[in-house]
């Protein structure tokens, strides 16, 4: 991707931070930089782990890692946004599901990194941001891919806890750094390895959408993804329509949320319905008529979760068609239905999200608005006519902040290409 002046300034800042953290480079050590974007999901929430359809787009808010490769298996990482660096030895990583917890011990020849490694040694108990880097290293090593240690500095413009996939971007960027910027994996493989890092190492039972969007995004296009087959189709937005993310300022934490409970409820629906439908693998295999016919088999809360997933899958496919034909009225209807379904059937919205959607819908030129992501806080996604973006910003600052006591932020975002190497210096 061509470098802009802000990109070059960011590179200079990262190189300087790398030298400050780890000392000047030797003659043989060159700086490499990789990037991975965040994502916004236009529609299709809580369908990915049900093997359904999603419609995300990679966005310009992204994560960069500047790094120098090491000859040993030590990884040392610092973040421009955290005072706590992390470190670990790749060969010592053990996922909790394999050995009942990570029992890594720092090596004596750590060269000063032992204290950092000890402080972050217990995966999924300490909940350190570098767990995502370590998870990527563990996943790549388990796949028998050649990885080496590095000294690196992470910089991200993705708001943490906003639902824009800061964790997936860090996992994908970390995988690229561990492989080295000169080695590129196919996007589906890179996404699957990053997803395994989050599920099996970090302990968040996520679907593949976030990592896939970060790895496989395409400039100016949303990505219609079949989460079962991983078949993809790129979909252009109507001319003159911008994607605008509105951050509620209400943060969420997946590990302490009801996210895994929702997954369990979906699994229970499949198990109960499979008694009448042998071979049922996931809620992806249901249609609305069949679910209505056998709804009495399910507890009410489980039935409502299933109803959301079945209807949301249909909305994703219809939304892709509406984008391609430029049917703005249909887009508004589909987004509104999705938000109501997530609020009332899946119960993952929040007062802040509902208020942000209400404020946006009152603005002429806002084509569509809905919550996006896992919910419980985070962001809304809006399709907005370009000349209405200033009015939306003003309304959020005026109305949303007054009604909620929170500080909302508005990000008109460009849709960009997926992850890859950025520069070698």
Q: Which of 151, 210, 247, 285 is catalytic?
A: 210
Annotate 121-160 with DSSP letters as a single string. Answer: -STTTS--TTHHHHHHHHHHHHTT-----EEEEEEE-SPT
Place of tokens 């388990």: 142
Q: How far is CA 232 from the centre of its chain?
A: 18
Tell me the residue ranges of DSSP E strands in 56-207. Answer: 56-69, 74-79, 86-89, 150-156
Coil, strand or helix at 342: helix
The CA-atom distances, in angstroms, between 393 and each of 62, 247, 360, 410 are: 22, 11, 9, 6
Annotated active-site residue 92? The verdict is no
Residues facing residue 158 across a β-bridge: none
Do 167 and 195 form a contact (C-beta atoms < 8 A)? no
Neighbours of 149 (CB within 10 A): 22
Q: Give dist(CA 260, CA 387) in Å, integer.
A: 40
Which stretch of DSSP H or E encloses residue 54?
Answer: strand 53-54
- Candidates 305, 361, 424, 403; CA nearest to 25 is 424
Q: Do residues 170 and 40 lie in contact, with contact meaning Cβ atoms separated by under 8 Å?
A: no
Q: Which residues are catalytic?
A: 210
């Amino acid at each position: 991707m061509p470098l802009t002046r802000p990109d070059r300034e960011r590179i200079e800042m990262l190189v300087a931070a790398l030298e400050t953290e780890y000392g000047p480079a030797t003659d043989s050590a060159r700086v490499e930089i990789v990037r991975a974007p965040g994502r916004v999901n236009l529609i299709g929430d809580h369908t990915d782990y049900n093997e359904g359809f999603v419609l995300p787009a990679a966005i310009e808010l992204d994560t960069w890692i500047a790094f120098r490769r090491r000859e040993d298996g030590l990884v040392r990482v610092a973040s421009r946004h955290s005072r706590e660096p992390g470190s670990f030895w790749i060969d010592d990583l053990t996922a909790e599901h394999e050995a009942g917890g990570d029992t890594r011990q720092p090596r004596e020849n750590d060269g000063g990194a032992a204290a950092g490694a000890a402080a972050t040694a217990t995966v999924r108990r300490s909940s350190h941001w570098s767990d995502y880097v370590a998870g990527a290293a563990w996943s790549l090593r388990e796949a028998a891919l050649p990885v080496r240690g590095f000294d690196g500095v992470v910089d991200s413009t993705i708001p943490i806890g906003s639902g824009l996939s800061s964790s997936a971007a860090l996992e994908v960027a970390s995988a690229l750094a561990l492989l080295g910027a000169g080695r590129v994996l196919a996007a589906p493989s890179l996404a699957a390895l990053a997803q395994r890092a989050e599920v099996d190492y970090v302990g968040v039972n996520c679907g593949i959408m976030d990592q896939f969007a970060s790895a496989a995004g395409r400039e100016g296009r949303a990505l219609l993804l079949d989460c079962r087959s991983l078949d993809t189709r790129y979909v252009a937005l109507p001319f003159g329509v911008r994607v605008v993310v509105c951050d509620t300022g209400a943060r969420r934490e997946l590990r302490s949320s009801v996210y895994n409970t929702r997954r369990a409820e979906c699994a229970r629906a499949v198990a109960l319905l499979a008694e009448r439908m042998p071979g049922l693998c996931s809620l992806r295999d249901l249609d609305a008529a069949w679910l209505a016919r056998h709804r009495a088999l399910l507890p009410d809360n489980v039935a409502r979760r299933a109803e959301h997933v079945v209807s949301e899958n249909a909305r994703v496919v219809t939304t892709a068609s509406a984008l391609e034909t430029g049917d703005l009225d249909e887009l508004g209807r589909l987004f509104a239905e999705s938000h109501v379904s997530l609020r009332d059937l899946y119960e993952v919205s929040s007062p802040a999200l509902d208020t942000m959607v209400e404020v946006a819908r009152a603005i002429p030129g806002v084509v569509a608005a809905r919550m996006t992501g896992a919910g419980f806080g985070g962001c809304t996604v809006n399709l907005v006519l370009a000349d209405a973006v200033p009015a939306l910003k003003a309304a959020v600052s005026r109305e949303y902040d007054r009604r909620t006591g929170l500080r909302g932020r508005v990000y008109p975002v460009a849709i960009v290409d997926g992850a890859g190497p950025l520069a070698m210096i």
